Amino acid sequence: MSKSVIVLGAGMVGVSIALHLRQRGWDVALVDRRGPGEGASFGNAGLIQREAVHPHPFPRRLAEIARIAGNRSVDAVYHAGALPGLAYPLLRYWWQSAPERYEAVARAYARLIVTCLDEHMVVAGEAGSAELLRPIGWMRLFNDDAKLEEARKEAEAAHRDYGVGYRMLDGKELAAEEPHLLIQRKGALHWTDPYSVSDPHALTLSYARLFEAKGGRLATGDAASLRRAGQGWRVETADGPVEAAQAVIALGAAAGDLTRRFGYAPPLFGKRGYHYHFGMQGNAVLNHPFIDEESGFCLVPMRAGIRLTTGAEFARPDAPETPVQLERAEPIARRLLPLAEKVEDKPWMGTRPCTPDMLPIIGRIPGQDTLWGAFGHAHQGLTLGPTTGRLLAEMMDGEKPFIDPAPYRAERFR
């Protein structure tokens, strides 16, 4: 079979797949209806999360579920009208998060996560964008001794089991690291390994430019136009139809719309998130990204300003934007840092593509010889783009993959 492929979706995941396939000699067309990296890969918190060996579980404590059910929190909100459609995937998510099942999930997830720094650095080095990957880690701030101790134990276990780097800071050490924090905290957990990307869009774009420099083709088109064409595939683009022997669906939160047409309907769901950037007053600076555990949102120093990113919003994909979490978070953020004016008039919104078992889908679409999928990377798609790109390219090339792909196979949702 000829080594030609259409990759649908130019987020961090699709761009990375296209690049890895191109590097292996495939003739690759990368198709998106927008520019590269303008979906969820644009507006995230920019962390390459080497510490995220445990994916986000569904809350199991009743008090926690009741708090979120009240729909007044900053970290998680929902549209009541979306709940009937979300009931099945969320119930499965809850079931899969039970401790006895969750541990196996975390082990499979960690196998991907532990590779993320190296896989990014190889690509960014060649793309000339390594300076976007700042080796400064990120912090969780605590004002409660018991929670700080719980975080220390969690970090110790992540270090022991998966080699994750960390250090614990007391209140004084934290104040020395972040002299412009307006509040005092008892201490912090500093995950020291992660890269903090100063401009996630620029990072994805740099990988896309490398793909083009190596002879890959970028095209504008709607993935919904994908059709069978003889033994292969065809998609309509602004430059005319493109045909190839194989196709990859890497459409992030929109992937399910297309896979359903080809007989595969996994129970995917989205967690929306929003951001705004702010200036800082005077000469104030923020040296590390952080989450204040009392607050439930992230503050990250980026090129464009201090980026405030929110937690999860559960809504129907076509529902209007409702940035209530940003409205709730802003006054709290202003008590934490000397923020100046907002940089934009309108907030950004994007959707984390989620699966109920917290693992991405990477592999062949069931019942289709030449159609592949790579989506469902949830909270860590920026982190896992290059890892996924390499893994899928190795699978498509018929090589022994560098990570056992079995836990991520699409068939688990049949």
Ligand X SMILES: Cc1cc2nc3c(=O)[nH]c(=O)nc-3n(C[C@H](O)[C@H](O)[C@H](O)COP(=O)(O)OP(=O)(O)OC[C@H]3O[C@@H](n4cnc5c(N)ncnc54)[C@H](O)[C@@H]3O)c2cc1C
Point out which residues bind ligand X (CB under 6 A). 9-14, 32-34, 38-41, 44-47, 49, 222-224, 250-254, 273, 275, 309-310, 350, 352-353, 375, 377-383
Q: CA 52, CA 114: separation in Å to the nearest integer?
A: 9
Q: How far is the CB of 400 from ligand X (least distance, A)?
A: 25
Q: CA 195, CA 203: separation in Å to the nearest integer?
A: 12
Nearer to ligand X, 143 or 322 (CB): 322
Nearer to ligand X, 181 or 255 (CB): 255
Nearer to ligand X, 34 or 60 (CB): 34
**Count of H helices and E strands in the chain?**
12, 23
Nearer to ligand X, 5 or 10 (CB): 10
Name the residue type at position 301: P
Q: CA 94, CA 145: separation in Å to the nearest integer?
A: 29
Nearer to ligand X, 99 or 316 (CB): 316
101: which residues sit within 8 A by CB, 6+ positions away?
95
Contact predicate 223/33, CB 8 Å: yes
Q: How far is the CB of 34 from ligand X (least distance, A)?
A: 4
Q: How far is the CB of 404 from ligand X (least distance, A)?
A: 21
Q: CA 33, CA 204: separation in Å to the nearest integer?
A: 16
Q: How far is the CB of 170 from ligand X (least distance, A)?
A: 26
- Cα end-to-end span (Å), the chain: 27
Chain-centroid distance, C-alpha 10: 14
CA distances from 385 to 137, 232, 235, 343 (A): 19, 25, 23, 28
User: Taking Cα atoms as reference points, which of 371, 363, 52 lies closest to residue 227?
Assistant: 371
Q: How far is the CB of 172 from ligand X (least distance, A)?
A: 28
Q: How far is the CB of 48 from ligand X (least distance, A)?
A: 7
Nearer to ligand X, 10 or 112 (CB): 10
Q: How far is the CB of 145 from ligand X (least distance, A)?
A: 28
Judged on CB neighbours under 10 Å (0-12, 13-18, 19+), 212 is middle
Q: How far is the CB of 203 from ligand X (least distance, A)?
A: 11
Nearer to ligand X, 7 or 90 (CB): 7
Contact predicate 19/211, CB 8 Å: yes
Nearer to ligand X, 219 or 229 (CB): 219
Contact predicate 407/108, CB 8 Å: yes
- At 140, is the secondary structure helix, strand, or coil? strand
